[in-house]
Amino acid sequence: MSIRHSLLALLQDQPRYGYQLRVEFENRTGATWPLNIGQVYTTLDRLERDALVAKEGDDGEGHVVYSITAAGTAEVRGWFAAPVERNNPPRNELAIKLALAVTLPGVDVQAIIQAQRVASIRALQDYTRARRDAAGTPRTGDTAWLLVLDSLIFQTEAEVRWLDLCEARMVQQAQAAGQAVTRPSSAGVPEDATPTADTRR
Amino acid sequence: MSVQGPQQVLELAKVSRTFGAGATAVAALREVDLSVAAGEFVAVMGPSGSGKSSLLALAGGLDKPTGGGVFVESTPLAGLGLNDLARLRRRAVGYVFQDFNLVPTLTAAENVSLPLELDGTPLKKARRQAADALRQVGIPELADRFLDQMSGGQQQRVAIARAIVGERRLILADEPTGALDSTTGHGVMEVLRARADAGAAVMLVTHEARHAAWADRVVFLRDGRIVDQASAMHDPTMLLTQAGF
């Protein structure tokens, strides 16, 4: 999340002081991302350093009011116009973990996948419940909250589907490798074999 | 054999189901213990062949276990004769199937009231309850339509109305959103959730994570066994932080 651009966008609306920015941000995003007031002031300092905002002075009650500069306005316009960068995704620990697991002998990849699946479904249950609650009692700011929840629901669902695919692919590989794909007790349910890195080799 | 609390509507105790015998025997379920309480919504997930549909068929008395016992509202299904079993299914248990299983020559209202009429409910009362069930699933205006005058989503709602009519205490749904678009599928989940919130025990079999997520508890079946269960954490704010927002 870009606090920097979010604060700039709010200043484009009108000059504000730090605490006002925090309150305004939380109101408009349904308090989805609680902002630390320290973060707000640090960000304002950096925006001022970069000449994107300027101090307007005191509002008479001891608050330092900031306004956006022409360069800041251009920055906000550019932020809204540009799609969010995809070339620098957050490091996906799960993908890294699975990629390593399938190359290491003796690692039960299926157990890793199942543990993740349970965690993901649990998260999905929470998001779904929160969405149901929010849709049932609409309040100001809930549109943003619903958008965020929808996004999380889609992301988590995609993760579960990806896990299913990973599992199916490993089973296929195990079968193709001609390894034992049925445990003594699992006759007739061959897709439930437990593939590990060993069976993959 | 059964140690049930008063709240348990469905209990499967060490239930096994094996198809065939000898060397070709296939174990679909192996000593599964699973209970669903009144007001609880349980989803069952698992890969193809994991035993999901077998579990549901046993839960509703459509099939018999080869081991263990199935209890609906403390009644052991094994002890019921065919007539008593049929009566229990009509009165207490509602099913929703992927392919609807509606009667094409009947209207929506007639399809919904059919189980009540078969059970001896006076026609007027049965139709009134059918109208109420159709209202609960959001299609009261379609009562007099025939199936070929309805969309797939509307037909599935009729099927759900039939499953919940007469305040059934146990609702069993097997991939009920299979053929539906996502918005309609969402509507189906809303109805199942509402029934659970109103006190029914609901068991849903699905491979769709987003539908399973409507449940209070998600049970993972694999190789005929329950391998995991997941319940909501009730802390979405924490999850947002974890999700990197």
CB contact under 8 A, A125 and B213: yes
Under 8 Å between Cβ of A98 and B210: no
Residue A185 scores a pLDDT above 60: no
How sure is the predictor about B70, in pLDDT bands with cuts at 50, 70 and 90? very high
Residue A184 scores a pLDDT above 60: no
Under 8 Å between Cβ of B28 and B89: no
Under 8 Å between Cβ of A165 and A67: no
Q: Which domain holds residue B189?
A: 8-102+169-242
Does B233 reside within a domain? yes
Under 8 Å between Cβ of B96 and B195: no
Under 8 Å between Cβ of B60 and B128: no
Does B112 reside within a domain? no
> What does pTM read for this prediction?
0.77
Does B69 reside within a domain? yes
Residue A128 scores a pLDDT above 50: yes
Does B134 reside within a domain? no
CB contact under 8 A, A156 and B209: yes
B33: CATH: 3.40.50.300
pLDDT number for residue A192: 40
The three state secondary structure string of B54-80 is HHHHHHCCCCCCCEEEEEECCEEHHHC
Does B33 reside within a domain? yes
Least confident range of A96-105, B110-119, B202-211, B228-237: B228-237
Residues A4-14 have a mean pLDDT of 90
| B78 token code pair | 């094994």
Q: What is the DSSP string of B154-175?
A: HHHHHHHHHHHTTT-SEEEEES
pLDDT number for residue B237: 55
Does B48 reside within a domain? yes
> Side chain identity at A51, as an amino acid letter?
A
Cα–Cα distance between B70 and B78 in angstroms, integer?
7
CB contact under 8 A, B49 and A192: yes
pLDDT-above-70 percentage for chain A: 79
- Name B224's Cβ contacts closer than 8 Å, sequence gap at least 6: A189, B16, B17, B27, B28, B29, B30, B32, B50, B51, B54
Q: Which residue of B has its CA nearest to A165?
A: B47
Contact residues on chain B for A30, CB-CB shorter than 8 A: none
Cα–Cα distance between A146 and B184 in angstroms, integer?
19
Does B208 reside within a domain? yes
Looking at the structure of chain B, the number of domains it has is 1
pLDDT in tens, B126-170: 999 999 999 988 899 999 999 999 988 889 889 999 999 987 899
| A125 token code pair | 């249950």
Under 8 Å between Cβ of A148 and A32: yes
Assembly ipTM: 0.78
pLDDT number for residue A194: 42
Strand-pair partners of B17: B29
Q: How far is CA B44 from the centre of its chain?
A: 10
Mutate to test the interface with B, among A128, A161, A183, A185 (most CBs of B within 10 A): A128
Residues B118-123 have a mean pLDDT of 89
Averaged confidence pLDDT in chain A = 80
Contact residues on chain B for A191, CB-CB shorter than 8 A: 47-49
Does B163 reside within a domain? no
